[in-house]
Structure 1
Amino acid sequence: MTSFEEAPAGDAHVGESIFKTKCAYCHTLDKHAGHKQGPNLNGLFGRQAGTAAGYSYSAANKDIGVVWGENTLYDYLLNPKQYIPGTKKMFHGLKKPQDRADVIAFLKQSTA
C-alpha cells in the first residue's frame, strides 16, 4: 500500500499526551517490555507490518507488506481498519491530521 498524504511536522510533546490517552492502553514502547493487546512499538520505524517477534498478528497485518514510516503511519492512523482490512485492531483512528503528526513525532522519538 502506498501513502496518499505526506505527514506534516508534529510536536512530540503533544504527541506523548495523545499517545498516553489513546494508545498506551494497548501498546508499550520500551525495548524490554512485552506486548499488550497490541504489539510493542519499539523499533517500529522501518519495520514491516506484522513482524514484531512474539506478537500474534492477524493474517491481514502479516500479508499487507507495509513498512512503517512517517507517511504510512500517517495514513494508517486515520483509519486502521480501512488501511488494513481484516486487522484485529479495535482503534477507530485519529481523525485530526495534526494529532496523527504529533503522535508520529512522539513515536519517532520514543521507539528508536
Structure 2
Amino acid sequence: MNNSIDTQSLMLQMRSLAAEAASQSAPVAKMGTGAEGAENFADLLSKSVNAVATEQNKSSEMKDAFERGEDVDLSEVMLQVQKASLSFQAMTQVRNKLVEAYQDVTRMPI
C-alpha cells in the first residue's frame, strides 16, 4: 500500500469539484418566486442534506473497511473524511445563516 499523496491529482480533483459546485449553484439564481420558488428551495435543501448524509455514510464505510484491513488506501479514506467534514460544516453554516435571516425577518416591524 502506497501512502504518498499525488499532489497534482489532488489539485485537479479539487478544481473539478469546485467547478462542479459552481455549475450546480447556477440554477439557484434562476429560481422562481412564490410557491414554485419555495418548492425549489425545499427540494434544494432536501438534496443538500441528503448529499451530506451520503458523504458521511461513505466516509464511515471507508473508515470501517480500512479498520477491517480491506484494500483501501489511507489517503483516500482521509480525503473522504475531510470531504464529509467540510460538507457538514458548510451545511451547518447555511443553517446558521437561514436561522439568522429568519430571526431578522421576525424582528422587522409590521
Greater RCO (Cα-Cα under 8 Å, separation 6 or more): 1
TM-score, normalization: structure 2? 0.27
Higher helix proportion, which one?
2
With structure 1 as the length reference, what TM-score do the two structures score? 0.27
